[in-house]
Chain A
Amino acid sequence: MPIANHHSAVPVTVDADKCIADKGCTVCIDVCPLDVLWIDESTGKAHMKYDECWYCMPCEADCPTDAVTVNIPYLLR
């Protein structure tokens, strides 16, 4: 899996203002079957570390604060 170490558009975006990962929440990280969501050490918020996604949606659906958005590519919609 390629590591996304420079900023680019990834399918899963997290609204840092809403995200409560810094309070200890790990819901999206726990539900992700690909383990591509991690906590950003600098902000304490969740982010997509690896640019891989099955678009399975639990991260968006289960987020207690509705901070996660999964952008499904047009051809998959």
Chain B
Amino acid sequence: MNVFHDPELRELAERLASPDPGLRRVAVLDLVDCPEPEAVTLLIQALRDPDPQVRQEAAKVVDEFESEDMADALIAALNDSDEVVRNAAAHALSDLKDPAAAKPLLAALEESRDPFVVAGILRALKPLREPAAREPALARLEAGDATIRREAVGLLGWLKEERNLPALIQRARDDDDAEVRRAAVGALVYAEPDSVAEALRQVVSDPHWQVRAEAMNSIAKLNHQDSLPLLIEATRDSTWQVREKAADAIGKLGRVEGIPALGECSRDAMSNLRKAAIGALGAIAHEQCRPYIQTALDDPDPDVRKLARWAQSKLSAA
């Protein structure tokens, strides 16, 4: 057992060494309030406690401590038998963003079979943007478990490498899981717009509305002007969330040709969509927008009216 100079820590260390798991558990609860930096060594000790409830309690509070001091303990906790502990460890590791953690994480990835743990490690690797993670992530794109594929897609997106685009496009188009497709569509935004234009053209007719909505977002982020016809078509999508994102995107592209479609949206029954449409019309700020903005000044929804006033001021400034 470590010897601490701080009396509070010494007392906590004694309680954490108690044979009674209940006492150890309560000691972990008190550990959070201890301001001493050395408290983290006690937390690491608690993460390795034989009692799962003590480990759980420790896992719940890992966020309160500097994660870099306990990277090894967190990686070990990724293989804990208790799911709460594993989850907290993966979560804390993804906050770590310490390049030094990449190596042990990759090693742990190699070892891990449990889908939950694999997904957690991939999520933790993502912000590190570690080039060596590319190969294992590409391999995980074929994993049977959708959460793994989803995290692998996220990781490859963060790497922002041109050569990963074909794999991401394939996921965006053909994955069985809507959430994986959505993540893949969102990950395409680092590409040269023309290289993913064809893929975006295909995913805008995805059966799942969240994928379609994400495609609208991606077109806006890529500022892909040639996709304007897709956006205009999507303003008539059956799901209003997609129509809303399409209206947003037309505003971001700033295209006068989109004004009639936005005008249509500004009369939609769904107030969120009217809001997006007026916002987009204000962003374009063209003389043709004026009648729609004028009408929206009397909209029943106060948010829409507020935005209409802003749009009007943009018009008079233009």
Contacts and interface: CB of A to CB of B under 8 A. Distances in A.
A6 B218 CA distance: 66
A23 B19 CA distance: 12
Contacts of A23: 20, 22-23, 25-26
Interface of B: 15, 20, 22-23, 25-27, 29-30, 57
Given A20-B26, A23-B22, 9 more contacts: A20-B25, A23-B20, A24-B27, A25-B25, A25-B26, A25-B29, A27-B29, A64-B25, A64-B57
B155 to A, nearest CB: 34
A22 B23 CA distance: 9
A20 B57 CA distance: 13
A23 B26 CA distance: 7
Interface residues of A, number: 7
Interface string A1-40: 0000000000000000000101111010000000000000
Contacts of A22: 22
A23 B25 CA distance: 8
B11 to A, nearest CB: 11
B23 A24 contact: yes
A interface SS class: loop
A62 to B, nearest CB: 10
Nearest to B24: A23
B40 to A, nearest CB: 20
Give 7 nearest A-B pairs by CB, closest first.
A23-B22, A24-B26, A25-B26, A23-B26, A23-B23, A20-B22, A20-B26
A24 to B, nearest CB: 4
A23 B30 CA distance: 12
A20 B27 CA distance: 12
21 contacts: A20-B22, A20-B25, A20-B26, A22-B22, A23-B20, A23-B22, A23-B23, A23-B25, A23-B26, A24-B15, A24-B23, A24-B26, A24-B27, A24-B30, A25-B25, A25-B26, A25-B29, A27-B29, A64-B25, A64-B29, A64-B57
A13 B219 CA distance: 55
B121 to A, nearest CB: 28
A52 to B, nearest CB: 26
Contacts of B29: 25, 27, 64
Interface string A54-68: 000000000010000
A22 B22 CA distance: 9
Contacts of A27: 29
Contacts of A20: 22, 25-26
A63 B84 CA distance: 17
Contacts of B57: 64
Nearest to B22: A23
A64 B58 CA distance: 12
Contacts of A64: 25, 29, 57
Nearest to A62: B29
Nearest to B23: A23
Contacts of A24: 15, 23, 26-27, 30
Contacts of B25: 20, 23, 25, 64
A28 to B, nearest CB: 12
A25 B25 CA distance: 9
B34 to A, nearest CB: 14
A14 to B, nearest CB: 15
A64 B53 CA distance: 10
